Amino acid sequence: MRGKLPLKNKTTIIEKLIEYDAFKHTTIPIYEIPYLFTPFDKITQKKTESALKRSVENGEFVSLKADTGSGKTCVASCVFLMLQTRYFPIIISPLMEKVEKVCTSPEDFARFILAQTYYNVQSFGVIDKKTKAIAKEAMAFRISYTEGKKTGIGGRIKGTLSFVPFLASLEPQLSMDIEEFTKKALEEKIYNTQRIACIKQLCETIEAYGPKPIFLLDDTDKFLKRPEIDLSAIVAPFFGRILPALVKIDYPIIVATHKYYDGFPTYRDAEKNCFNKVITIPKIDKAGLDAVLQKRIKAVCSRAKLEQVFEADALKSIYDYYSREPILRRTMLLCQECAEKARSEGQEKITDSLVTLTILESEPNIQ
């Protein structure tokens, strides 16, 4: 008699959460926002996304303020999705060698905006049709979070859509017009206010197709505050020269700012004289953090409950950890490391003792 074949081990919830990166602690791509991000409007008493949306609709210059890793980019992305049929975001996020030059000269910074826009539109233009079609499906949220992971979409389009997120749904002619305009503007030898005028003309080119441009100056810590370089000397010219010049574009602009800048008089002056509004990312309570974790779990395992993954005491310890330094990125990294430890030890739940041990072993790495 033939013996029975051994049954394949069932994948645990913990294993699925690790496989699909449910506790992602790096930047969440805009096409994953509905699955992984819980709006602060829903989990706090303070209006955050709705306030930013109103400011954009009013054409305001906004400081979106919090410590690094607190959710500024996610809040902006959430608002962009609310407005996607009417507005066209262009995200400026710097990783450049000559940061001191670019961030002290309005002309050079305006050129940087044009160059980054040109590069990203051009990069998307050369992507194959199949990948563009997948990107369009992802941006229309016609595929689930897990399906998106299986397609490998992140590695192929994440970079481009991180800067011009609605490229996948644009009319091809508008993409071509943006590329042609920015290329020509970069080739022309024009300076200062004329360069700012070029950005305004770029906005008018886009608006001729319907959507109104919005600019997000994201990751300003990479402009102005890096661990390996002392950039404090350029905070003053950035807020004192560049931001007043950008106001002349006369389109909605969001600047992701940090509490670190409060120590600089030029930033404090910008809050009074340049920004129409300052929106601060709020701290969430334990119920809010539980809701954040539940949504992450649901993205991967639609029927799984929070208590199937975390013991009650473990959730309390995770919230205590968050409360000491309310940065969601660090907390998600802690959850990821706890999940990995639970898997390696054969546990199907994250326990309080496991959270405590993970913090003790990993805290220097959780930043």
Looking at the fold, whether 268 and 351 belong to one and the same domain comes out as: no
Give the burial class of 333: count Cβ atoms within 10 A of its Cβ; 0-12 exposed, 13-18 middle, 19 or more buried: buried
CB within 8 Å of 231: residues ≥ 6 apart: 99, 100, 103, 223, 224, 225
Flag whether 269 is in a domain: yes
Name the domain boundary from 233, 248, 280: 280
Amino acid 1: pLDDT: 38
DSSP SS3 for 186: helix
Looking at the fold, whether 202 and 138 belong to one and the same domain comes out as: yes
Amino acid 256: pLDDT: 95
Looking at the fold, whether 276 and 289 belong to one and the same domain comes out as: no
Give mean pLDDT in consecutive 10-residue pieces for the chain, a chain of 367 residues.
45 94 93 96 97 97 94 97 94 77 89 92 85 85 89 71 84 90 84 76 93 94 74 89 92 94 94 96 98 98 96 98 95 97 94 96 61
Amino acid 279: pLDDT: 98
Amino acid 158: pLDDT: 67
Amino acid 4: pLDDT: 42
Amino acid 36: pLDDT: 97
Amino acid 128: pLDDT: 83
Flag whether 8 is in a domain: no
Q: Provide the domain limits for residue 96.
A: 47-280
Looking at the fold, whether 109 and 124 belong to one and the same domain comes out as: yes
Amino acid 8: pLDDT: 44
Amino acid 50: pLDDT: 98
Q: Which residue in 295, 311, 355, 347 sits closest to 22, CA to CA?
A: 295
Q: Is residue 362 within 8 Å of 334, Cβ to Cβ? A: yes
What separation, in Å, do the N-terminal and C-terminal C-alpha atoms of the chain show? 59
Flag whether 40 is in a domain: no
What's the structural domain count of the chain?
2
Name the domain boundary from 280, 313, 343: 280
Q: How many CB atoms lie within 10 A of CB 114?
A: 19
